[in-house]
Amino acid sequence: MITLAADIGGTRIKLALLRDKSVLARETLDAHSYEGLAPQLPRMADAFERLCGAAGTRCTDCAALGVAFPSLVDRASGRILSEYGKYADAPQIDLPRWAHEALGLELVIENDARLALLGEWKAGAGRGRDNLVMVTLGTGLGTSALMEGRLVRGKHGQAGVLGGHFTV
C-alpha cells in the first residue's frame, strides 16, 4: 500500500511517498506560512505529482493522503480548528475537499506532535512503552501524550497539548 504524507511546518513542508515504513521518494518545500495555507496547496499537489511520477505511479493509485499539521485539528471532519500565527487561513480551508479534487485521495489529518509521538512509539525510541510524552521543537513547540497505549486527545482535542502550540 502506497500513501502520500505531508508534514506542514512553519518553515518547511516535507512531502513523501511511503510504502509501509519505507520512504520511496521525498521533497521539501519552503513553507511561506505567512502567506497562508491556500497558496501552498497547489505547490504541494504539483510536488506530489512529481513524487508519484518518479516512483512510476499516480496519486490516484495511492491509498490516502496523511497530513501532520501544527495546530489543533478535528480528525473526524479533517478540519483545522485553530491557527497559531502561521497559516492564518487554515481553519477556513476544506482540506478533505482539496485532497479529493486535487489528488483524488481521502485525507487523514492529525496534530503534528501527536503523529511524531506515534512514530516514536511504533518505530523509534518509544517502542515497547505504552506511556510516553513528546515535546517537539521546530518553528514552534508542540506536545503530546500517550497513556496506556492510547493517544490523549480529550473531548475537544486539547488533552495532551501541554500549554498549547506556540511559536518559538
- Answer yes or no: is pLDDT of 148 > 80: yes
First and final C-alpha spacing in the chain: 37
Q: Are residues 144 and 62 in the same domain?
A: no
pLDDT score for 72 = 87
C-alpha cell at 50: 512529481
- Answer yes or no: is pLDDT of 164 > 80: no
Q: Are residues 82 and 9 in the same domain?
A: yes
> 66-112: per-residue pLDDT in tens?
999 998 899 899 999 988 778 999 999 999 999 999 999 999 999 99
Q: Are residues 45 and 90 in the same domain?
A: yes
pLDDT score for 142 = 84
Nearest-5° Cα angle at 75, 70 to 76: 155
Q: How confident is the model at residue 147 (pLDDT cuts 50, 70, 90)?
A: very high
CB 57 within 8 A of CB 1: no
C-alpha cell at 105: 485521495
Q: What's the CA gap between 37 and 83, in Å, rounded?
A: 11
pTM value?
0.90
Nearest-5° Cα angle at 40, 86 to 151: 60
Range of the domain at 76: 2-111
Q: What is the CATH number of the domain that holds 54?
A: 3.30.420.40
Q: Are residues 22 and 102 in the same domain?
A: yes
Q: What's the CA gap between 112 and 84, in Å, rounded?
A: 13
* Boundary (domain end) residue, out of 111, 128, 158: 111
Q: Are residues 86 and 11 in the same domain?
A: yes
pLDDT score for 35 = 96
- Answer yes or no: is pLDDT of 62 > 80: yes
* Boundary (domain end) residue, out of 94, 111, 128: 111
Q: Which residues pair with 151 in a beta bridge?
A: 146
> 12-49: per-residue pLDDT in tens?
999 999 998 899 999 999 999 999 999 999 999 999 99
Backbone angles phi, psi at 68, to 5 degrees: -105, 125
Q: What's the CA gap between 126 and 130, in Å, rounded?
A: 8
Number of domains forming the structure of the chain: 2
CB neighbourhood size of 69 (10 A): 23
